A and B are shown apart, each in its own frame.
Chain A
Amino acid sequence: MSAIEASSRRPRLLGLTPPLRGVRSGGRGALLVVSLSCALGVLLQAYVGYEGRVTGNPPSVLFWAGLAVMYGTVAYIVVSGKGLDRSGYAAAIVLLSLGMQLTRLVLYPSLFAYHDELIHVRVLSDILSTKHLYTPNSALPVTPRYPGLEIASAGIARITGLSAHASGSLLLLIARLILSLALFLVVERLTTSPRAAAIASLLYIANPQYLWFNSQFSYQSLALPLCFAFVYLVRRLEGVRAAIAWPCLLGGALAISVTHHLTALGLVALLFLWWILCFYTKGRPRHLTAALVTTIATTLLWGFFARHTIVHYVVEITQNNVKSVQQLVSGQSNHVFFKDTAGDQTPVWERYASLASVILIIVLLPLALWASRAWLRTKRAPALVLCGVAAAYPLIPLGHLTDATSEVADRSSGFIFVGIAFLFAWWAFGAPRAFDRAAAGSAIRKVGARAVACAAMLVLFVGGTVVGSGPPWLRAPGKYLVSADNRSVDPLSVAAASWMGQHLPRDQRLYGDRTGELLASALGKQHPLTNLADKVDNGALSRLLLAPPSPTDVTTAKQDRLQYLLVDRRIATDLPHVAIYTDTGEYGSEHRTRPPTKAAVTKFDSVPGADRIYDNGSLSIYNLVGLR
């Protein structure tokens, strides 16, 4: 009789039994080391953020050291496989996942500062202030129609009394818990090896989006974990009656559909592939059809509900991607690797690390796929689906050939790396035991094999993080930079946005630079004019900020019924770090070599009817109502 079974016979208060009693003494030590390394990593990241704010330059050595210590330590312990039992492996992975998420949260402990985060902050703040869902958000009109993340955050805020930021942070930690456990259980079920499951979770952490984009307060950060959990649920409900399984699946599918459009579509594709493959494998899970039907139904239903925003959004993304590919084919692409549009370059070692990670996967992928023929013989449909997903990996590096497609490619890595993680972990530590065969023999050979495996995983993690995190300045707080998302959020821009929130009526039509508009929306509760929401021509509108004085300025402001203009005069000091000052299609974005002139950013001082009503030395707000 196992310890768990024995203990479960004794009723205990709150239903708790000691599940990890089976952790071996070596496992306790290993868990302690894991937690200490994660603690050190989180503290180092907090120090990086502190230094960045105080000196203006976050120390990159400490930044990478903190992450490498966390990842490398857990990788070594899991690869060596000593001391940990199943629960120990799971605990180690959960500690690392939570630690990685915490490294992001401590960099901005009081404000979500990244581009997409500010968009979702507005949605959350609207829910909390209006007490209702679906308040339009002009910064990205599709977001209020997919409010799962914000609903859950608002619920936590209202039930616990915590601030919106604290509730969102707590939800992101829960999402990471779900992600790590779901992936662990899915891979463990297929490989029957907890160690392979832990390795797969580690490899998934190396995906380019894990540490950055999918850790942000943004809808896919919650939808992706729910999606993985849903896939696990399909298998787990095997022995459950349909009367119970259907509501569970419907609830899960609806929650995912309400949270993120592309994740819901990805889930439909995954389940459909699985369902189709079951004709070959002849072993369809009992509730797979129900899962597919509920997912398709909820995705279509919610897509129909959000059709006015989602169609325009997807069409614009598609058009941008097609345009980028056309430019690439015709040799007109001006995409530059490892250099932003203001001239900041990625350090040489980081470039090599990212290239090494891509090359490593491309070299190993055919070998692992060749070995995965074994799944054809055993006819396990989910494993075949994951192998197929892994085979799509080349799309990620290929997508990086243009600006627009690189964004799509990076986003897809959240899905594709599930396949990569499963395939490599199974190949090396599952049934084929490629790693164990390589490590068999002398102690030196064993140590060497472990070192090589850990080094390879570390390269994948660091390289993947470099690929996904973009330019170095994006990674931590520091001195103000022009049009640089989080680095453009500083006390001056926050002060202007907060003033708008306190002294202007809500939802006034406003135009400004990229970050200024987002802050005006998130903190100032204003309505930034965008092509997606207002069908404005950004080429003409951006002339108000970027072009020299022109008689057409007043006409443009009148045509677009512009009420307020937010001008950050610092944009005249440097080129934009994210390619644009405002939005796509802006004035002068083709072949720009110098920032706008000072005359351009101060021209409204001399326009009759334009009132400069706010000035903090860097940012001015003009009231243009008098132009009408």
Chain B
Amino acid sequence: MSRAELGIRWSVIVAAVAAASVAAPTAVQAPLGIISLISTAQLLARLTHRRDPVECWLVGSVGTVVLLILSGLLVNYAPHGLTTTNWNLAWALISGVVLIGVAHTGPQLAFGFSRAAAAAFAILGAATVGAYALADAGVSRQNAQPVLAFSALSYGTNHEATLLIQSTNAGGSFQLSVLPDDANRGATSEDVRLPTRGVSRARVVVQLPRARSRWVLVLRSTSGSRATTRKLILAKATNIG
């Protein structure tokens, strides 16, 4: 192995660990981590002294997966377990050991692509990027479906309730009513407003009538053509969050 190659490979190992340890952005850490994995996979294949590219790819990928699994089983018992730092140190150790082993013994290997194969995989890669973009657009469209969620985070303590209203493209004006469960007597209400579009949330603290131990809280839209109602039924003092 040439000095240049050795230098590049050590740099990749160190850079991957450094990027992970300083919590670099994914745009930096992901390519470095992937290159580190591929680099070790390639070295594993070289350890076999085979010149068959098909076998090299197989040995490289199997070796990487098996080493990940076995190292995970061991790192689990390290102090603090499978943390990012431990994972990266373990992988750097594995990569370093494999690199040292190959540096002395490993031959040159057929582990690359011809231009034809590289072009073929590049086409599939480009199509994958396009397909993911299209799929993501579909997910965004589906996630734009209006969702209005009404929930209680805590209630009863000091006769107060902390409520959460979460909206995805379902905002507008709402009336929040607090009713004793047996009648409308003693009802209190207040108005809440959320942006009509996009994702929004509002945390509301309401007073619960003291004479009762069970309350019905109704959130009713007062804008738009479709009436939207959400209902909570609360009793006793509970802090769930």
Which A residues touch B155, using CB under 8 A? 611
Shortest Cβ distance from residue A69 to the other chain B in the assembled complex, whole angstroms: 12
A175 neighbours in B (Cβ, 8 Å): 65
Q: Smallest CB-CB separation from B24: which chain A residue?
A: A161
The residue from B46, B51, B58, B131 contacting A182, defined by CB atoms under 8 A apart: B58
Do B20 and A159 touch (CB < 8 A)? yes
Given A31-B120, A42-B124, A47-B134, A19 and B108 contact (CB-CB distance below 8 Å): no
Please determine whether A158 and B84 come into contact, CB atoms closer than 8 angstroms: yes
Question: Looking across the interface, which residue of chain A has its beta carbon closest to that of B28?
Answer: A161
A433 beta carbon closer than 8 Å to chain B: no
In this assembly, does A322 line the interface, its C-beta being within 8 Å of a C-beta of chain B?
no
Please give, as numbers and ranges, the residues of chain A lying within 8 Å of B112 by CB-CB distance. Answer: 16-20
Q: Bound complex: CA of A226 vs CA of B58, how far in Å?
A: 10
Provide the bound-state CA to CA distance between A19 and B110, in Å.
5
Cβ-neighbour of B132 out of A39, A46, A226, A492 (below 8 A): A46
B238 touches which of A107, A130, A615, A626 (Cβ 8 Å): A626
Report if A376 contacts B (CB, 8 A): no
Contact A609 B235 (CB under 8 A): yes
Residue of A nearest to B127 (CB): A39
Distance in Å from the Cβ of A588 to the closest Cβ of chain B? 26
Q: Is B111 within 8 A of A130, CB to CB?
A: no
Stretch of A148-156, A365-373, A509-517, A579-587 at the chain-chain interface? A148-156
Contact indicator B37/A159 (Cβ below 8 Å): yes
Do B58 and A232 have beta carbons less than 8 Å apart?
A: yes
Tell me the residues in window 89-114 of chain B with beta carbons closer than 8 Å to chain A beta carbons: 91, 106-114
**Set of chain A residues within 8 Å of B107, measured between Cβ atoms:** 8
| Bound complex: CA A148 to CA B135 (Å) | 29
A534–chain B nearest beta-carbon distance, Å: 22
**Bound Cα distance A10, B110 (Å):** 12
Contact present for A133 and B68 (CB under 8 Å): no
Q: B90 — nearest CB in chain A belongs to which residue?
A: A155
Chain A residue nearest to B30 (CB atoms) is A160
Chain B interface bracket (under 10, 10 to 19, 20 to 34, 35 or more): 35 or more
**A residues near B135, Cβ cutoff 8 Å:** 46, 49-50, 106-107, 109
Closest CB of chain A to B192's CB: distance in Å?
Answer: 15
Interface 0/1 of A155-167, CB less than 8 Å to B? 1101111100000
B65 and A161 contact, CB distance less than 8 A: no
Return the CB mask of A128-152 against B: 1 if under 8 Å, else 0. 1011110000000000000110011
Of the candidate stretches B139-147, B172-180, B183-191, B204-212, the one touching chain A is B139-147
Contact A34 B147 (CB under 8 A): no
Interface class of chain B by DSSP: helix
Asked if A615 and B231 sit within 8 Å, CB to CB, the answer is: yes
Question: How many whole Å from B117's CB to the nearest CB in chain A?
Answer: 5
Is B202 located at the chain interface by the 8 A CB criterion? no
| Contact indicator per residue, chain B 147-171, by CB within 8 Å of chain A (1) or not (0) | 1111111010000000010101000
Query: Which B residues are CB-close (under 8 A) to A47?
Result: 134
Q: Is B198 part of the contact surface with A, judged by Cβ < 8 Å?
A: no
Chain A 37-54 interface residues, beta-carbon cutoff 8 Å to B: 38-40, 42-43, 45-47, 49-54
Q: Taking each of B24, B71, B107, B117, which has the highest tally of chain A beta carbons within 10 Å of its own beta carbon?
A: B117
- Determine the chain B residues whose CB is within 8 A of the CB of A161 once the complex forms: 19-20, 24-26, 29-30, 33
Task: Say yes or no: B147 contacts A151, CB within 8 Å.
Answer: no
Contact between A608 and B214, CB atoms less than 8 A apart: yes
A13-B4, A13-B5, A613-B232 known; A495 vs B166 contact (CB < 8 Å): yes
Q: What distance in Å separates the Cβ of B79 from its nearest Cβ neighbour in chain A? A: 10
How far, in whole Å, are A200 and B190 apart by their CA atoms in the complex?
A: 70
Chain A residues with CB under 8 Å of B168's CB are 491, 495
Give every chain B residue within 8 A of A9 (Cβ-Cβ).
108
B58 and A4 within 8 A (CB): no
Closest to A240 in B: B48
CB pair B80–A131 under 8 Å, yes or no, is yes
Q: A131-B83, A132-B76 in contact; A109/B139 too (CB < 8 A)?
A: yes
Q: Which residues of A contact B150 (CB under 8 A)?
A: 614-616
- B108 and A42 within 8 A (CB): no
A35: Cβ under 8 A from any B Cβ? yes
Q: Which residues of A contact B113 (CB under 8 A)?
A: 19-20
In the bound assembly, the distance between CA atoms of A252 and B30 in angstroms comes to 27
A251 vs B150: C-alpha distance when bound (angstroms) = 52
Asked if B120 and A617 make an inter-chain contact with CB atoms under 8 angstroms apart, the answer reads: no
> What B residues does A17 contact at CB under 8 A?
108-112
As a 0/1 sequence over residues 53 to 95 of chain B, the CB contacts with chain A under 8 angstroms (1 = contact) are: 1111110011011111111110010001111100110010000
| Chain A positions 1-38 with a Cβ under 8 Å from a chain B Cβ | 4-5, 7-21, 23, 27-28, 31-32, 34-36, 38
A98 contacts chain B at the CB level, 8 A cutoff: yes
A79 sits at the interface (CB 8 A): no
CA A50 – CA B134 in complex, angstroms?
A: 7
Known A15-B1, A27-B116, A43-B134: A178·B58 in contact at CB below 8 Å:
yes
Contact partners of A86 in chain B: CB under 8 A: 54
Q: How many chain A residues touch the partner (CB < 8 A)?
A: 117
Closest chain A CB from B16 CB (angstroms): 7
Asked if A605 is an interface residue, CB under 8 A from chain B, the answer is yes
A499 at the interface (CB under 8 A from B): yes
Report whether A155 and B34 are in contact in the complex, using a CB–CB cutoff of 8 Å: no
B41 to chain A, nearest CB (A): 9
- Are the C-beta atoms of A35 and B123 separated by less than 8 Å? yes
Q: How far is the CA of A453 from the CA of B93 in the complex (A)?
A: 51
Question: Which of B2, B81, B130, B236 meets A13, CB within 8 Å?
Answer: B2
- Known contacts being A53-B141, A617-B230, is A18 close to B131, with CB within 8 Å? no
Q: Given A161-B26, A616-B150: A178 and B51 within 8 A (CB)?
A: no
Partner of B131, one of A45, A128, A181: A45
Known: A13-B4, A43-B130, A52-B138. A229 touches B235 (CB 8 A): no
Whole-angstrom CA separation of A21 from B116 in the bound complex: 9
Contact of A35 among B58, B68, B121 (CB under 8 A): B121
Q: How far is the CB of B95 from chain A (nearest CB, A)?
A: 10
Least Cβ–Cβ distance between B66 and chain A, in angstroms: 4
Flag if A15 contacts B231 (CB, 8 Å): no
| A254 interfacial by beta-carbon distance below 8 Å | yes
Closest chain B CB from A484 CB (angstroms): 16
Contacts of B145 in A (CB 8 A): 490-492
Select which of B33, B116, B123 is within 8 A of A39 by beta carbon: B123
Per-position 1/0 for B217-236, Cβ under 8 A of A: 00000000000101111111
Query: Which residues of B are in contact with A by a Cβ distance under 8 Å?
Result: 1-2, 4-5, 8-9, 16, 19-20, 24-26, 29-30, 32-34, 36-37, 42, 46, 51, 53-58, 61-62, 64-73, 76, 80-84, 87-88, 91, 106-117, 119-121, 123-124, 126-128, 130-132, 134-139, 141-143, 145, 147-153, 155, 164, 166, 168, 214, 228, 230-236, 238, 240-241
Residues of A within 8 A of B (CB): 4-5, 7-21, 23, 27-28, 31-32, 34-36, 38-40, 42-43, 45-47, 49-54, 86-88, 90-91, 94-95, 98-99, 102, 106-107, 109-110, 127-128, 130-133, 147-148, 151-152, 154-156, 158-162, 171, 174-175, 177-178, 181-182, 184-185, 222, 226, 229, 232-233, 236, 251-252, 254-255, 258-259, 477, 490-492, 495-496, 499, 503-505, 605, 608-617, 621, 623, 625-626
With A132-B82, A152-B72, A254-B70 known, 17 other A-B pairs at CB within 8 A are: A11-B108, A19-B113, A20-B114, A34-B120, A35-B120, A35-B124, A42-B127, A50-B141, A90-B53, A109-B135, A131-B81, A158-B84, A226-B62, A252-B66, A258-B69, A490-B142, A623-B240
Identify 6 residue pairs between A and B in the complex whose beta-carbon atoms are under 8 Å apart, listed by A's number. Answer: A17-B112, A53-B138, A54-B141, A109-B136, A151-B73, A617-B230
Q: Which 7 A-B pairs have the closest CB atoms?
A: A20-B114, A160-B33, A39-B127, A19-B110, A151-B72, A161-B29, A46-B131
